[in-house]
């Protein structure tokens, strides 16, 4: 039996965020066994903790979707770190936790919630007409509904579009079957004085999937922050709301410090026990 937690990320309310399964001791498990378990949990990601292999790191983690292993992902990083700290993990440095994963060493701030530094964009800039037509087909809107668009790809392939406001974002009725593959982020601003500055939706369809909406997305919020802080649409710090359209209440906190954009939020453990693995 191995210690196991299921953590809801980017929320303080159980079952309102984005869950990640965390196996607290992955020692002696093969890659095939980890992938099989991740497929069985049927969550977007499942992680496995190990002792670090380098002295700078506090722990090592491997991150699996139902199909493949990932080098890094946002909400699994925060959820796994939450689980490690809750289980008694003691960081080497005050105020920071260093995660070792396939992408290398990831620094998390540990003050008033966990946050990771936004990774660099691998693709940015203007979106061409053909790609915008694909986005509009999935969103079910005319081109005139899009105020601005940009590539905001930090790995998953995100193309981001901004609508007139949060109400327009929440009113969308996406046609998930309109295109064979996509990763689309949609944002719109809330009225001044609202608890959240923007509303975010993340739509994706990969491989043979039917297409779905992610409850709360660390990677997309990181790249949207780089885009909208960079062009002056938003000012730091701010809070992004996500998951509203599918009955969640995710909250992502974005802040600029130490010449980095930090993306974080709260987590709550919903399941704490053991798993026969």
Instruction: Catalogue the active-site residues.
Output: 45
C-alpha dist (Å) from residue 9 to 4, 217, 243, 250: 16, 10, 12, 8
- Integer Cα distance of 162 and 148 in angstroms: 5
The three-point CA angle 251-254-260 to 5° equals 155
d(CA 214, CA 185): 10
Contacts of 22 (CB under 8 A, 6+ apart): 4, 5, 6, 7, 46, 47, 48, 49, 79, 80, 83
Determine which helix (DSSP H) or strand (DSSP E) holds 275, and give its type and residue range.
strand 267-275
Place of tokens 């061409």: 128
Neighbouring-strand partners of residue 183:
204
Do 165 and 138 touch, CB atoms closer than 8 A? no
Dihedral sign from CA coordinates of 179, 146, 164, 217? positive
> How many C-beta atoms lie closer than 10 Å to residue 22's C-beta?
28
DSSP classification of residue 266: -
């Amino acid at each position: 039996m191995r210690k196991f937690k299921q953590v809801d990320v980017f929320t303080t309310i159980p079952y309102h965020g984005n869950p990640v399964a965390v196996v607290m001791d992955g020692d002696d498990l093969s890659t095939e066994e980890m992938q099989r378990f991740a497929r069985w949990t049927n969550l977007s990601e499942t992680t496995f903790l190990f002792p670090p292999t380098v002295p700078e790191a506090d722990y090592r983690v491997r991150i699996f979707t139902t199909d493949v292993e990932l080098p890094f992902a946002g909400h699994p990083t925060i959820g796994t770190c939450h689980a490690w700290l809750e289980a008694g993990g003691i960081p080497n440095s005050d105020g920071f936790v260093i995660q070792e994963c396939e992408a290398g060493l990831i620094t998390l701030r540990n003050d008033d919630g966990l946050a990771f530094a936004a990774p660099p964009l691998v693709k940015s800039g203007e979106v061409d007409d053909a790609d915008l037509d694909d986005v509009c087909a999935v969103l079910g809107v005319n081109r005139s509904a899009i105020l601005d668009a940009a590539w905001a790809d930090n790995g998953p392939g995100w193309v981001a579009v901004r609508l007139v406001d949060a109400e327009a974002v929440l009113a969308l009725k996406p046609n998930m079957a309109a295109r064979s593959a996509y990763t689309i982020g949609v944002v719109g601003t809330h009225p001044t004085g609202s608890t959240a500055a923007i509303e975010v939706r993340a739509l994706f369809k990969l491989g043979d999937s039917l297409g779905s909406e992610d409850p709360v997305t660390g990677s997309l919020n990181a790249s949207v922050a780089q885009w909208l802080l960079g062009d002056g649409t938003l000012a730091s710090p701010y809070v992004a709301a996500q998951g509203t359209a599918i009955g969640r209440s995710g909250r992502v906190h974005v802040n600029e410090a130490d010449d980095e954009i930090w993306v974080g939020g709260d987590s709550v453990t919903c399941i704490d026990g053991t798993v026969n693995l």
